[in-house]
Amino acid sequence: MSFPFAAVVGMDDLRLALLLNAVSPAVGGVLVRGEKGTAKSTTVRALTAVLPTVDVVAGCRFGCDPAAPDPACPDGPHEPGAGAQTRPARLVELPVGASEDRLVGSLDLERALTEGVKAFEPGLLAAAHRGVLYVDEVNLLHDHLVDLLLDAAAMGTAYVEREGISVRHAARFLLVGTMNPEEGELRPQLLDRFGLTVEVAAPRDPDVRAEVVRRRFASDADPAGFAATWAAEETALAARIAAARELLPRVVLSDAALRQVTAVCAAFDVDGLRADLVTARAAMAHAAWCGREEVTEDDVRVAARLALPHRRRRNPFDAPGLDEETLDQALEDTRPDDDPPPPDGPEDDGPDPAGPSPEDGSGPQDAGTPEDRSGHLGSSTGSQDAETPRPGPAPERAAVAPSDPVRVRRLEVPGIGAGAPGRRSRARSERGRVVGSTRPAGPVTRLHLPATVLAAAPHQHARGRTGPGLRVVRDDLRQAVLEGREGNLVLFVVDASGSMGARSRMAAVKGAVLSLLLDAYQRRDKVGLVTFRGGDAELALPPTWSVEAAAARLTGLPTGGRTPLAAGLLRAAEVLRVERVRDPRRRPLLVVVTDGRATGARGGDHLGEARRAAALLAGTGTSAVVVDCESGPVRLGLAASLGTVLGAETLRLDELGADSLAGTVRAARQVA
């Protein structure tokens, strides 16, 4: 798909961020956040069509530059003046389900042990050297792969370590990640490793949307003809990138401009100094893109809008964004008194009239700020629930704000699982501590050396060993078994009935659940939310990676009506049944937040129905925790009774905090 397609979708800030990285890869890559169907992947894949070609050493699997080959290249050393060939810049895609060996490369351990040779198979990092490495749905990538990926991007070098064998090679690439925030967020420390971030959204203008559809139909009907239509534009854009790269070494970042960069970063209270470095580099790249040899205030403004939104988050539930007034004030405070305010954008006579010039709008506000979207989602959800009363004999109370979240103790699923890597429950995993060994079912990826030696030692005489060295055959090899942590499905079942309706009490309940949601975010869990009140239970949020969405639904949750506890438990059982089919390896943890009361519209044994529903859940082997919300001097103990039927641990609200757990442990030690 042709690169100008992005302009139709209204993503000038995305185009500019990609092009600034193309001019200066030292900026550190781009993270593209946006709703589904906004041409994120299309735009990224189109970038390679306008990147300059690269010269590589002929036959080198690591893409060495013949003018300056890597002296440590595994395929080298390359002689000066080695044969060169020219090829287009590559776009290498990293699948979400890729393994560590596929990313960094792998050693043939069998040949290394039996033949004594160091046979290395390059991975995707080697293929992406001097090109683009694209990670779609980067927020769903396993954490350890993201760590490896970002370390290589930061150092420009990839390392492979396997049982004392070490290989390193150059890995300098333009890193681009795309994600849908509804499916979950990246950890803040990983967000910080991306140089720039961009928010994209579909256009709301019917004429623009119609033009998108026309161009898509034209491309499907005649791909070659459609590409030819935009060939001149792409050629001009490629020439402009090449010219900006040549100009970049001559761009001057004056002390005044550097002062503006640091003042802006300080004004937004970002952590560390990486933001200052990225903003300065992006400002220099923007100056080169505009054909200037000195950084101006406009360059700093553009760079700040792209480099700071994802770094100003104070907690995981904050949406990325930038306050324009704060930015203007920071720039104004560092502007000399005799300098007039800068114009809306510098004049630009570049060779690409369709390119993302500053007049096109280089700030992220054109695509819609994340505060607008996330705030609209949260407020609309809350106001709709609060303003549309549901039928029921008890009056409905408006939603109350949750109390401040606190650090909670770790709740985990008993036993050892084999689910996705995370930080909650014990599991067999690709990373962790070695707890044993096993015979490999396929290729050996993590050799357990002591077990391999022990397996081979008794057969040395029969194999004719007469000197030093160990004779090893395939049957001797042992795979290391590692134990780490997994992420779970945490399904919250929250009582929102009238018995929970006291404002201070519901605020404390919401604060407790919000604390648990924050803990789920940090431990890489999938979350879901079932609420029950009035006459039935509701799946307020299907299981999702977006803890932010769960927090928004929780904040806007009103209370009132009867307490259909049995309906809430049965609805939870149905949700868990479906999730076992969808993701059988992810073990669930059910968190029931209730005071244990059960009422209904008609007479009957509602408490007995709730206990039968709890017994049904217990029969499926579901691990559960009951959070007892009962308060007051007289306690009926209904929640604890429910926990007994569920086979669950029961905790009072004030026992959820990690500090209360530490106090209990200290008290127990003093008694002992």
- Say how far apart CA 128 and CA 63 lie, in whole Å: 9
Q: What is the 3-state secondary structure (H, E, C) of 382-424?
A: HHHHHHCCCCCCCCEECCCCCCCCCCECCCCCCCCECCCEEEE
Kindly list the distances between the CA atom of residue 369 and the CA atoms of 261, 322, 372, in Å, as whole numbers in the listed order.
22, 8, 5
How many whole angstroms separate alpha carbon 193 and alpha carbon 30?
A: 10
Among the listed residues 90, 216, 274, 335, the single catalytic one is: 274
Q: What are phi and psi of 467, to 5 degrees?
A: -130, -165
Cα-based torsion angle of the residue sequence 602, 608, 612, 614 in order, rounded to the nearest 10 degrees? 100
Report the alpha-carbon distance of residue 332 to residue 326 in Å, rounded. Answer: 10
Query: Alpha-carbon distance 414 to 425, whole Å?
Result: 7
Q: Tokens in use for 202?
A: 């579909």
H-run or E-run covering 34: strand 30-34
Enumerate residues 6+ apart whose C-beta is below 8 A from 342.
296, 297, 298, 301
Rounded to whole angstroms, the Cα distance separating 367 from 202 reads: 8
Q: Which two tokens stand for residue 194?
A: 């991306």
652 is catalytic: no
SS3 label, residue 112: helix
The Cα–Cα gap between 627 and 339 comes to: 61
Distance CA 360, CA 382 (A): 36
Contact 365, 533 (CB under 8 A): no
Nearest CA to 7 out of 366, 240, 349, 354 is that of: 354
Distance CA 231, CA 248 (A): 26
Q: Looking at residue 76, what DSSP letter applies?
A: -
Q: How many CB atoms lie within 10 A of CB 218?
A: 13
Contact of 412 with 424, CB cutoff 8 Å:
yes
The phi-psi region of residue 560 (left if phi > 0; otherwise alpha if psi is between -120 and 50; otherwise beta) is: left
Q: Which of 203, 192, 68, 79 is nearest to 130 (CA)?
A: 68
Q: Exposed/middle/buried for 129, CB within 10 Å: 0-12, 13-18, 19+?
A: buried
Kindly write down the DSSP assignment for every residue of 512-572, as one continuous string. Answer: HHHHHHHHHHHTT-EEEEEEEETTEEEEEEEEES-HHHHHHHHHT--EES---HHHHHHHH
Rounded to whole angstroms, the Cα distance separating 125 from 134 reads 11
Can you give the length of the chain in residues?
672
- Picking from 173, 144, 147, 171, the residue whose alpha carbon sits closest to that of residue 159 is 171
343-352: long-range pairs with CB below 8 Å, 24+: 343/298, 345/298, 346/290, 346/292, 346/296, 346/298, 348/290, 348/291, 349/291, 350/240, 350/289, 350/290, 350/291, 351/236, 351/239, 351/240, 352/233, 352/236, 352/237, 352/240
Residue pair 494/529 in contact (Cβ under 8 Å)? The answer is: yes
Residues taking part in catalysis: 274
